[in-house]
Every structure is written in structure tokens, then in C-alpha cells.
Amino acid sequence: MIEIEVKARAKADTEDRIRAIGATMLGTESHVDLYFNSSTRDFRKTDEALRIRIKGDGARLTYKGPKLDCDTKSRLERTVKIDNPSEMEKILVNLGFLPTVIVRKLRTKYSLGDVILALDDVEGLGLFLEVEAKSESDWLKQKEKVLSILSSLGLGESIRNSYLELLEREQRKNLDT
């Protein structure tokens, strides 16, 4: 499954504009995301991600492949639901993966057709909007759609960095000062 995704810093009027374009609010989720790196290849260099997400309806293990283009965050994404995130973390450590950063956020989800809009309040980073579609094929068409939605919300500038990368950058900044 290809996840087509764009992200931008949200503005004060973003929530109003999401409602104005006719998106339906789906609900709010609290996410705790534990990211891992590999001891044998640096995921920051290979542009991969391995994550355990804990949220209200259970936990999931997700692998994300390298990004597929230069202007969005579109990439291969594979997810399984797991019954025990703590045991999964221990298995990953036994297999040579290292926990790196925890990202905590409150996500408010909206749907607009087959597109999901996620307004994320990320601890330590602030408010962002992710616009996301999934595709088994023809992902370029879906890409046009998510870019157009982002633009119609007045959020032209797409950020390709993950919250993980943005948090790591913040941590480095704090270490330098």
C-alpha cells in the first residue's frame, strides 16, 4: 500500500478552513509513537521508519519505506495490529533495533471523500496538518488531489520531514544552545 501524504504547518484559521471545504470530523486520537533505528543500517540515511504506535483502539507496528518523490511524503507503508506493544518493543530490541524518539500528539481527523485530513498537535513542535490518501496503484492521481487540498486551505508549503526528524532537529538545537 502506498501512502500519499503531504504535511504543512497549520495556521490559526486552518481548522475553520477544513470545515469550510466540507470535510467531516471523524474524532480525536491520542498517539504515542515509539520510533526505532536499525543497528545495521541507519534509517535516517536510508529514509525508512519503524514505529510502534499506541492509541485508543490498540497498538500497531508500522514500517515505512523511502519517500517516492521530491515534493510529498508519499511512501510504501505496511501496518499490523499487535496486542502487546511492550513485548513488540522487546522483540525489536532483541532483533537489533534501537528505540530512538517518542513522538506524542493529539490528532483530530477529518474525511473529505477518500482523503484523510489530520490536524496534529505535536508535543514540542506545535500544530501541523497532514493530508493523506492511500493507493494500491495510480498514486500520482491521488498525489495531485492531496496537493490541491493543501493549497485550497492556504497551506502551500509542504514539509517533507517527519515529526521524528523535526523532533530530532529540535533536540540537536537544544543541545547546541
List residues with catalytic annotation.
35
Query: Does residue number 136 form part of the binding site for a second copy (CB under 8 A)?
Result: no
By CB under 8 A, is residue 20 in contact with a second copy? no
Nearer to a second copy among residue 61 and residue 118 (C-beta): 61
Task: Give yes or no for a contact between 28 and 109, defined as CB atoms under 8 angstroms apart.
Answer: yes
**Across-strand partners of 93?**
none
The C-alpha angle 107, 165, 131, rounded to 5 degrees, equals 40
| Binders in 83-102 for a second copy, by CB under 8 A | 83-84, 87-88, 90-91, 94-97
Q: Per CB under 8 A, does 18 bind a second copy?
A: no
- CA 56, 80, 145: angle at the middle one, nearest 5? 85
Alpha helices (H) in 40-162, listed in sequence order:
43-46, 85-94, 139-152
Candidate list 78, 111, 124, 148; residue touching a second copy; CB under 8 A = 78
Residue 82 contacts a second copy per CB under 8 A: yes
Tell whether residue 155 is a contact of a second copy (CB under 8 A). Answer: no
In three-state secondary structure terms, 123 is coil
The neighbouring-strand residues paired with 49 are 64
Q: Which residues bind a second copy (CB under 8 A)?
A: 38, 40-41, 48, 50, 61, 63, 65, 76, 78-84, 87-88, 90-91, 94-97
